[in-house]
């Protein structure tokens, strides 16, 4: 995730800044050569592919920050986050593919950076490539797994991540349920939160919130990146040279990149992507076939679904949108939220918790129009007049409740044991309308969401 921060802040912000202010900023970048002596590489496709990796780097954080953000222990010298970012040839779309760090990988033949020993090809977890062979082996392994030729390499650590988030003024994150991880110290109540750099680091690192582990963390990282793009494009960074230089200096001070990623490439790309917004970005995780694939001597790994992953990376090579049905939507079409549980399977009883006559019927009709199975008999009352819309649900139907809450931006989710299979919506004075929702495409090889679907409404 920290690497995605690098790309979004520098590339997007540079689009509104003159050459004089950008020139010289890349002098602080540490250069690496991840493509040295590489042979038998994949054929180049259309567009530009950037391998973004986030490394530990906790040894460069102050003792106070390490204690506050639960960053104890020794640095792992490994990749904590790995993303493949594809910038379309027309520079109008960025596709971000998250690669699980525990992915089962076949390490190419190489020389270990630490011991100097030569190794034959062998199975590993993907993040071990960096520990054994640094950026070069990481690039080789990813190219071998995906068949996608990497054009540029960017690497960012904890320090750069926190300073960059602080430089843009923080990032807004929304959650419909409490997020608490005792390992990172993350503790967010349901609602909207402004995260500073340290809190943002907790958010993108947390993997002990639920049973989703790394997959849940990748989804939060994608949400964070969409929120960061929203802040950069709408928060004044593009129009304020002083803020831009502060952001760029903070980020680039601890970035490692390939030799060819410099000021000229940055400006050319940024000018081409002028007008980029969260809706221009799309996010997807590699389709998984086995979450607990055992490997002798390594342990449990994440095995990709080979057939579906092949279709995903073929789309990347061919410069195709990963969310074509949304890309083809006409201008002005309301955004549609992607939900896990199909709305047609969610039974809903609507209550009008306000003094506005007919509001219950209006909400019932709107929810039914987007696919929910409403009772068609909205009721009034349900206690005192409500200022905020509430979705009450039995804990056994929490996934259905999330789908319903996605259609009612800002609604409070409230678990009520014994409520049963019919969810209750109590409409409050804050009601502003229903957002259309759709279930993840059943049977599709992969499902992408666009940035405007995951930022705060």
Domain match, 277 and 368 both: no
pLDDT digits (tens, 9 = 90+) for 342-373: 788 789 999 999 989 999 999 999 999 888 98
Q: Which of 22-36, 78-92, 254-268, 324-338 has the lowest mean pLDDT?
A: 324-338
Dihedral sign for Cα atoms in the order 189, 233, 438, 205: negative
In a domain, 13, yes or no: yes
Query: Percentage of residues in the chain with pLDDT exceeding 70?
Result: 73
In a domain, 332, yes or no: no
What is the per-residue pLDDT for 245? 67
Domain match, 256 and 391 both: no
Domain match, 404 and 319 both: no
What SS3 class is residue 202?
Answer: helix
In a domain, 207, yes or no: yes
Domain match, 359 and 235 both: no
Domain match, 143 and 188 both: yes
pLDDT digits (tens, 9 = 90+) for 414-434: 999 988 889 999 999 999 999
Residues 6+ apart with CB under 8 A from 237: 9, 12, 13, 168, 231, 243, 244, 247
pLDDT digits (tens, 9 = 90+) for 385-407: 889 999 999 887 888 899 999 99
Last residue of a domain, one of 267, 300, 327: 327
In a domain, 259, yes or no: yes
What is the per-residue pLDDT for 146? 96
Per-chain mean pLDDT for the chain: 79
In a domain, 138, yes or no: yes
Mean pLDDT on 167-171: 85
CA 231-232-235 angle, 5° bins? 60
CATH number for 395 = 3.30.70
- 286, 103 contact by CB (below 8 A): yes
pLDDT digits (tens, 9 = 90+) for 317-351: 999 888 754 444 444 445 567 787 878 878 999 99
244 or 49: which leads in pLDDT: 49
Rounded Cα–Cα distance for residues 134 and 34 (Å): 8
CATH number for 206 = 3.40.630.190
What is the per-residue pLDDT for 265? 59
Q: Range of 432's domain?
A: 341-439
Residue 155 forms beta bridges with which residues? Answer: 53, 256
Mean pLDDT on 112-128: 82
Domain match, 283 and 166 both: yes
Mean pLDDT on 252-266: 73
Domain match, 180 and 46 both: yes
What is the per-residue pLDDT for 8? 45
Last residue of a domain, one of 296, 327, 358: 327
pLDDT digits (tens, 9 = 90+) for 202-216: 888 887 776 555 667
Last residue of a domain, one of 271, 298, 327: 327
Domain match, 287 and 391 both: no
pLDDT digits (tens, 9 = 90+) for 265-297: 555 555 555 566 667 778 888 998 888 899 998
What is the per-residue pLDDT for 430? 93
Most confident of 253-257, 317-321, 327-331, 441-445: 317-321
Domain match, 276 and 420 both: no
In a domain, 86, yes or no: yes
Tell me whether strands 79-87 and 48-55 are parallel, antiparallel or unpaired. antiparallel
Mean pLDDT on 16-30: 58
Mean pLDDT on 48-68: 74
Most confident of 69-73, 250-254, 275-279, 414-418: 414-418
Per the structure, the count of domains in the chain is 2
Domain match, 318 and 365 both: no
What is the per-residue pLDDT for 68? 67
Domain match, 155 and 222 both: yes
Alpha-carbon distances, residue 183 vs 61, 72, 156 (angstroms): 18, 10, 22
Rounded Cα–Cα distance for residues 152 and 200 (Å): 26
In a domain, 155, yes or no: yes
3-class secondary structure per residue, 345-369? HCEEEEEECCCCCCHHHHHHHHHHH
Domain match, 431 and 354 both: yes
In a domain, 444, yes or no: no
């Amino acid at each position: 995730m920290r690497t995605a921060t690098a790309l979004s802040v520098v590339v997007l912000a540079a689009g509104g800044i003159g050459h004089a202010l950008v020139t010289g900023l890349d002098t602080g970048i540490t250069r690496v050569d991840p493509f040295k002596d590489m042979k038998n590489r994949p054929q180049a496709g259309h567009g530009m592919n950037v391998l973004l990796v986030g490394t530990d780097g906790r040894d460069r954080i102050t003792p106070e920050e390490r204690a506050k953000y639960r960053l104890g222990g020794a640095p792992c010298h490994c990749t904590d986050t790995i993303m493949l970012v594809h910038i379309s040839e027309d520079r109008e779309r960025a596709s971000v593919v998250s690669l699980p760090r525990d992915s089962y990988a076949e390490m190419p033949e190489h020389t270990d950076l630490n011991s100097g020993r030569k190794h034959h090809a062998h199975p590993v977890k993907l993040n071990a490539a960096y520990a054994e062979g640094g950026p070069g082996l990481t690039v080789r392994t990813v190219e071998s797994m995906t068949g996608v030729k990497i054009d540029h390499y960017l690497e960012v650590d904890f320090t750069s991540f926190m300073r960059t988030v602080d430089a843009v003024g923080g990032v807004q994150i929304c959650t419909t349920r409490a997020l608490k991880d005792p390992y990172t110290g993350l503790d967010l109540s349901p609602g909207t939160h402004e995260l500073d750099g340290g809190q943002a680091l907790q958010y993108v690192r947390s993997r002990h919130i639920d049973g989703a582990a790394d997959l849940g963390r990748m989804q939060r990282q994608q949400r964070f990146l969409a929120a960061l793009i929203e802040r950069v494009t709408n928060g004044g960074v593009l129009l304020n040279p002083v803020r831009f230089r502060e952001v760029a200096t903070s980020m680039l001070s601890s970035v490692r990149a390939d030799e060819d990623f410099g000021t000229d490439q940055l400006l050319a790309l940024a000018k081409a992507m002028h007008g980029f917004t969260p809706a221009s970005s799309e996010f997807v995780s590699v389709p998984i076939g086995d979450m607990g694939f055992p490997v002798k001597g390594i342990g449990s790994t994440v095995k990709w679904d080979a057939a579906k992953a092949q279709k995903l990376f073929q789309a990347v090579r061919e410069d195709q949108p990963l969310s074509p049905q949304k890309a083809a939507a006409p201008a002005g079409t309301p955004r549609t939220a992607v939900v896990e549980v199909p709305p047609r399977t969610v039974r809903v009883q609507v209550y009008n918790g306000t003094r506005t006559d007919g509001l219950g019927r209006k909400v019932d009709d709107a929810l039914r129009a987007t696919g929910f199975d409403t009772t068609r008999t909205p009721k009034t009352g349900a206690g005192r007049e409500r200022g905020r819309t509430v979705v009450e649900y039995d804990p056994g139907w929490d996934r259905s409740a999330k789908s319903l809450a996605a259609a009612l931006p800002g609604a409070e989710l409230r678990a009520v044991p014994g409520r049963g299979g019919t969810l209750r919506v109590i409409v409050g004075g804050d009601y502003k309308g229903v957002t259309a929702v759709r279930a993840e495409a059943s049977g599709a090889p992969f499902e992408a969401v666009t940035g405007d679907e995951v930022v705060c409404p």
